[in-house]
């Protein structure tokens, strides 16, 4: 069918490949479907939905970065990554208490001074756990058949979930709602909550710090080199094991921070949270182009935004269906994701 | 989970052993009669399932014997990975059917599980009596049952051959809770008349119970003259709570002053209350729901947004309002002292077990003192009339429903769901 269209039109229509054209048509149909509903609900609500979408997307992005970094360097889907994210939220719970942060009682500078060490300690602990996972479950299998580390990854995921289940039990766990609930007016009678602004701000700082690290530091250069060609990097004197461990370290630190942010934003945790969030984040990473760091951040943002638009303007019950329909569409038309490049299989 | 299940079976076994020791000493027992319970007693459902199971076990141990036979109870758990599971429930029923000694079952707890269990049990004429199933389509042949629930009483009862009410001796399913046709409307009336709410946003968890109760709430609230906005269903089958933020913002924009949650704590029923922060003022916004959110977990999940603006209906009467029940409740309190002893349906489950035992007794008499068959037990159950239970006088009609169900409205006062009012529905 596609071949026939291609030959009939000389391969391109209006300068676009036929597949891209079909994709654009589907996108246009979706936009035409949503626009009347958006107009109907007004600009104020649209602004709120966009802010909610960015906040949710920022959380997905932080987790997606870890999937994509690890894939980029060792071509492994670290299924335990979503659970390291949950672990971050779980570890931070007692830390919040230890630094005297209590729901409704901590404000201003005291809150800030308390949250900074909580973030740093949680990120460090999550990072160490992920490095340990890499050392125990992935490094010994680096040259084994691909399926072996895939299974150990699923195994580590189950172990982490089980451990957290035994630690905190099966019930929903309430996460203290610490961030200010103040509404910031953005004109036209529309307000956005200070909480979402803070969350987005923290996520942006972390992503900027990561990209500076990857692009400017020597270790970052080593990581890029290892991702490109592990053997050549080793010949150039780069310590491969240390570089891969660093990748796991940074990815997990971001996931840990994502866990705290998730807790602060949503206020509820479960031991198996990482499965669902991990699935969306992994989807975001694939969506943006797995292995591509800006792609993961973009993918996270788009998935978050897309799910909020679906919740707000289509139907909440349809959101999951639409997200994965979108993923399939994107992968059919751009198999390597939005920003991904076709790379030959190593 | 496996360990938790093992533990409860162990506790039940000890209680049963103790009961045998105390009641059968000296007298000559004519034999053993077994009943079973099927409730979700592990994971997040355990908060409501375990107290119910304790109530049933206490009924068996305190009643002890029926017509000279010694009573025993076998406890089944229908939760898988911490949540009630319809398939597991049906498996339990299959297991119970193959155990010829068991003549009736107390349970299940959840309507979705009941829908899977009733057909299996019906083929074997095995009695089920539930303290808490409220979905109306389990018993009542209503026009929308097939389209909304994908089942109706006839399709659940193969023995009845499409005749509802079933021919005598064919219906095996009974319950003592008020159906959702009452629970949703009761809260709608209360919200409109007593709380003076005019605009309410309604969501459900896309499960048979939550969907049914939310639809019935919305229908009655609109009939009263109120406005229902942002009627949405959320997929709660995942391991993370759905994101309610944009829905809540939309509800705020549409002028809602109350949220009705057609959900349970296990399906993230009170998470929107926590996520309301910064969107709704909890001191001027009501949070309403069915019995599924009337538990301690809901209040924990609400965090600092939990306050006295939260109300839940209960499909069972409050036994502590019944003066005739005081003596039995006092004894139960002395016998069972842990947290897991007390839940919304503890005394209702006690009543279910007691009604089942009463019916077994009448079935034994009808069978000239011999062990009754399962058919004889369901026939006797259907004839239950003016049974003096802890939750009041209970009669069962030919559909399997209580003839005059009682509902109550509870309010969160300082972290406990507190009895506010109750009213009977004559039907």
Give the chain A residue nearest B248 (alpha carbons): A312
Residue B184 lies in a domain: yes
Clarify whether residues B139 and B61 are in a common domain. yes
Pairs of residues, one from chain A and one from chain B, whose beta carbons lie less than 8 Å apart: 114
Residues 6 or more apart from A134 whose CB is under 8 A from it? A244, A245, A248
Sorted by where each begins, the domain ranges of chain A are 55-272
Of A257, A245, A240, A259, the residue nearest A131 (C-alpha): A245
| B18 pLDDT above the threshold of 70 | no
| Cβ neighbours around A336 below 10 Å, total | 16
Give the domain range for residue B21. 2-178+320-396
Does residue A176 contact residue A101 with C-beta atoms inside 8 Å? yes
Task: Point out the residue among B232, B271, B304 whose CB comes nearest to the CB of A104.
Answer: B304
Task: Point out the residue among B234, B241, B275 whose CB comes nearest to the CB of A316.
Answer: B234
Clarify whether residues B216 and B268 are in a common domain. yes
Residue range A87-93: average pLDDT? 95
* Interface contact flag, A177 B277, Cβ < 8 Å: yes
Residue range B150-160: average pLDDT? 92
Clarify whether residues B71 and B190 are in a common domain. no
Q: What is the pLDDT of residue B5?
A: 44
| B11 pLDDT above the threshold of 70 | no
Does residue B173 contact residue B122 with C-beta atoms inside 8 Å? yes
> Given phi > 0 = left and psi -120 to 50 = alpha, else beta, which region is A10?
left
* Interface contact flag, B241 A172, Cβ < 8 Å: yes
Q: What is the pLDDT of residue A130?
A: 96
pLDDT band for position B135 (cuts 50, 70, 90): confident
Clarify whether residues B48 and B114 are in a common domain. yes
* Interface contact flag, A172 B297, Cβ < 8 Å: yes
H helix or E strand, kind and range, residue A308: helix A293-309
Residue range A326-333: average pLDDT? 84
| Cβ neighbours around A342 below 10 Å, total | 7
Asked whether the bond before B165 is cis by omega within 30 degrees of 0, the reply is: yes
Tens of pLDDT, residue by residue over B365-393, are: 999 999 999 999 999 999 999 999 999 99
Clarify whether residues B224 and B79 are in a common domain. no
Which 8-state DSSP code applies to residue A89?
Answer: H
Clarify whether residues B63 and B126 are in a common domain. yes
| A90 pLDDT above the threshold of 50 | yes
CA distances from A36 to A50, A100, B1, B14 (A): 17, 49, 49, 65
Residues 6 or more apart from B101 whose CB is under 8 A from it? B32, B33, B34
H helix or E strand, kind and range, residue A227: helix A218-228
| Cβ neighbours around A2 below 10 Å, total | 9
Residue range A119-125: average pLDDT? 96
Name which of B205, B238, B240 to mutate to probe chain A: the one with the most chain A Cβ atoms within 10 A of its Cβ: B240
| Cβ neighbours around A36 below 10 Å, total | 10
Residue B108 lies in a domain: yes
Residue range A286-302: average pLDDT? 91
Task: Point out the residue among A49, A170, A174 whose CB comes nearest to the CB of B301.
Answer: A174
Clarify whether residues B103 and B241 are in a common domain. no
Clarify whether residues B413 and B283 are in a common domain. yes
Q: In whole angstroms, what is the distance from residue B277 CA to residue A12 CA?
A: 52
Predicted TM-score (pTM) of this structure: 0.78
Residue range B255-278: average pLDDT? 93
Q: In whole angstroms, what is the distance from residue A288 CA to residue A267 CA?
A: 28
* Interface contact flag, A273 B250, Cβ < 8 Å: no
Clarify whether residues B209 and B129 are in a common domain. no
Give how far the C-alpha of residue A73 lies from the chain's centroid of Cα atoms, to the nearest Å. 17
Residue A136 in tokens: 């125990």
| Cβ neighbours around A303 below 10 Å, total | 26
Of A193, A5, A163, the residue nearest A80 (C-alpha): A163
| A346 pLDDT above the threshold of 70 | no
Give the chain B residue nearest A195 (alpha carbons): B278
A266 vs chain B: nearest CA distance in angstroms?
6
| B56 pLDDT above the threshold of 90 | yes
Strand (E) positions, B291-341?
A: 310-314
Angle between helices A108-133 and A81-98 (to 10 degrees): 140
Clarify whether residues B31 and B170 are in a common domain. yes
Q: What is the pLDDT of residue B259?
A: 97
Clarify whether residues B156 and B232 are in a common domain. no
| B2 pLDDT above the threshold of 50 | no
Q: What is the pLDDT of residue B271?
A: 94
| A345 pLDDT above the threshold of 70 | no
Answer with the residue of higher pLDDT: B152 or A340: B152
Residue A75 in tokens: 């071509």
| Cβ neighbours around A179 below 10 Å, total | 21
Chain B neighbors of A49, CB-CB under 8 A: 246, 249
Strand pairing partners for B233?
Answer: B204
> Of the given ranges (B8-12, B201-205, B245-249), which has the lowest mean pLDDT?
B8-12
| B426 pLDDT above the threshold of 80 | no
- The pLDDT > 70 percentage for chain B reads 93
pLDDT band for position A257 (cuts 50, 70, 90): very high
Place of tokens 């509800």: B251
Q: What is the pLDDT of residue A344?
A: 46
Give one DSSP letter per residue of A90-134, joined into a string. Answer: HHHHHHHHHTT--TTT--HHHHHHHHHHHHHHHHHHHHHHHHHHI
B2 touching A (Cβ < 8 Å): no
pLDDT band for position B14 (cuts 50, 70, 90): very low
Task: Point out the residue among A104, A170, A276 whose CB comes nearest to the CB of B43.
Answer: A170
Q: What is the pLDDT of residue B25?
A: 42
The CATH number assigned to the domain holding B239 equals: 3.40.50.2300
Number of compact structural domains in chain B = 2
Question: Residues in chain A whose beta carbon is closer than 8 A to a beta carbon of chain B?
Answer: 41-42, 44-45, 48-49, 52-53, 55-56, 103-104, 170-172, 174, 176-177, 181-183, 193-195, 266-268, 270, 272-277, 307-308, 311-312, 315-317, 319-320
| B27 pLDDT above the threshold of 70 | no
Q: What is the pLDDT of residue A341?
A: 67
Say yes or no: ipTM exceeds 0.90.
Answer: no
Does residue A283 contact residue A69 with C-beta atoms inside 8 Å? no
Q: In whole angstroms, what is the distance from residue B273 CA to residue B298 CA?
A: 9
B303 touching A (Cβ < 8 Å): yes
* Interface contact flag, A276 B240, Cβ < 8 Å: yes
pLDDT band for position A11 (cuts 50, 70, 90): low
Q: What is the pLDDT of residue B45?
A: 83
Average predicted confidence (pLDDT) for chain A: 87
| B8 pLDDT above the threshold of 70 | no
Answer with the residue of higher pLDDT: A100 or B332: B332
Based on DSSP, count helices (H) and strands (E) in chain B, helices before strands.
Answer: 14, 17
pLDDT band for position B9 (cuts 50, 70, 90): very low
Clarify whether residues B116 and B252 are in a common domain. no
DSSP β-ladder status, B79-80 and B83-84: antiparallel
Does residue A129 contact residue A115 with C-beta atoms inside 8 Å? no
């Amino acid at each position: 069918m596609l071949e026939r269209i291609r030959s009939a039109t000389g391969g391109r229509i209006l300068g676009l490949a036929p597949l891209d054209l079909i994709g654009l048509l589907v996108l246009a149909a979706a936009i035409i479907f949503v626009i009347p509903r958006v107009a109907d609900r007004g600009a104020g609500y649209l602004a709120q939905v966009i802010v909610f979408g960015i906040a949710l997307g920022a959380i997905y992005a932080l987790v997606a970065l870890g999937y994509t970094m690890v894939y980029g360097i060792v071509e492994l889907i670290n299924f335990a990554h979503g659970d390291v994210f949950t672990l971050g939220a779980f570890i931070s719970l007692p830390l919040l208490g230890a630094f005297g942060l209590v729901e409704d009682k901590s404000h201003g500078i005291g809150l800030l001074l308390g949250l900074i060490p909580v973030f740093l300690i949680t990120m460090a602990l999550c990072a160490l756990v992920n490095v340990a996972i890499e050392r125990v479950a992935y490094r010994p299998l680096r040259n084994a058949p691909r399926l072996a580390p895939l299974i150990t990854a699923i195994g580590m995921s189950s172990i982490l979930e089980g451990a957290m289940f035994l630690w905190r039990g099966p019930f929903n766990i309430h996460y203290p709602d610490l961030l200010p609930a103040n509404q910031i007016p953005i004109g036209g009678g529309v307000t956005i909550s200070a909480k979402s602004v803070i969350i987005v701000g923290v996520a942006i700082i972390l992503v900027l710090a990561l990209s500076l690290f990857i692009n400017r530091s020597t270790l970052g250069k080593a990581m890029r080199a290892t991702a490109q060609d592990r053997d050549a990097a080793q010949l150039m004197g780069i310590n491969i094991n240390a570089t891969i461990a660093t990748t796991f370290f940074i990815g997990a630190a971001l996931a840990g921070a994502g866990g705290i942010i998730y807790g602060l934003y949503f206020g509820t945790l479960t031991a198996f949270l990482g499965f669902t969030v991990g699935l969306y984040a992994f989807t975001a990473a694939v969506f943006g182009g797995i292995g591509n760091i800006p792609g993961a951040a973009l993918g996270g943002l788009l998935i978050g935004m897309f799910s909020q638009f679906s919740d707000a303007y289509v139907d909440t019950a349809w959101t999951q269906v639409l997200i994965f329909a979108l993923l399939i569409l994107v992968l059919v038309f751009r198999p390597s994701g939005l920003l991904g490049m076709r790379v030959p299989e190593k | 989970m496996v360990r938790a299940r093992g533990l409860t079976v162990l506790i039940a076994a000890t209680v049963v052993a103790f009961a045998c020791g105390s009641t059968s000493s000296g007298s000559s027992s004519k034999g053993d009669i077994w009943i079973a319970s099927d409730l979700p007693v592990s994971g997040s459902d355990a908060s409501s399932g375990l107290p119910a199971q304790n109530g049933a076990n206490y009924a068996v141990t305190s009643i002890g014997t029926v017509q000279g036979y010694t009573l025993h109870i076998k406890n089944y758990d229908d939760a898988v990975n911490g949540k009630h599971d319809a398939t597991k429930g049906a498996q339990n029923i299959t297991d119970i059917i193959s155990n010829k000694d068991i003549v009736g079952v107390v349970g299940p707890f959840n309507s979705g599980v009941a829908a899977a269990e009733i057909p299996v049990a019906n083929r074997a004429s095995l009695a089920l009596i539930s303290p808490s199933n409220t979905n109306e389509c389990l018993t009542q042949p209503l026009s929308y049952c097939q389209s909304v629930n994908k089942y109706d009483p006839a399709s659940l009862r193969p023995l009845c051959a499409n005749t509802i009410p079933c021919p005598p001796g064919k219906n095996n399913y009974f319950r003592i809770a008020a159906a959702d046709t009452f629970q949703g409307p009761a809260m709608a009336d209360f919200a409109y008349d007593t709380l003076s709410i005019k605009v309410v946003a309604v969501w459900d968890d896309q499960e048979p119970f939550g969907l049914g109760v939310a639809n019935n709430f919305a229908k009655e609230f609109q009939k009263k003259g109120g406005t229902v906005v942002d009627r949405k269903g959320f997929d709660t089958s995942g391991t993370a709570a759905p994101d309610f933020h944009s829905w809540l913002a939309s509800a705020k924009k549409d002028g809602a002053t109350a949220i009705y949650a057609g959900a349970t704590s296990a399906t993230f029923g009170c998470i929107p209350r926590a996520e309301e922060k910064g969107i709704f003022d909890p001191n001027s916004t009501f949070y309403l729901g069915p019995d599924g959110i009337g538990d301690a977990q809901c209040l924990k999940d609400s965090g600092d947004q939990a306050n006295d603006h939260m109300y839940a209906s209960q499909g069972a009467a409050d036994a502590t309002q019944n003066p005739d029940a005081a003596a039995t409740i006092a004894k139960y309190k002395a016998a069972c002292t842990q947290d897991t002893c007390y839940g919304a349906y503890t005394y209702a489950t006690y009543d279910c077990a007691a009604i089942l035992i009463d019916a077994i007794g009448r079935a034994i008499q009808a069978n000239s003192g011999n062990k009754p068959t399962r058919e004889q037990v369901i026939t006797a159950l259907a004839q239950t009339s003016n049974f003096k239970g802890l939750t009041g006088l209970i009669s069962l009609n030919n559909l399997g429903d209580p003839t005059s169900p009682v509902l109550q409205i509870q309010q969160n006062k300082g972290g406990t769901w507190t009895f506010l009012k109750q009213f009977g529905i004559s039907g």
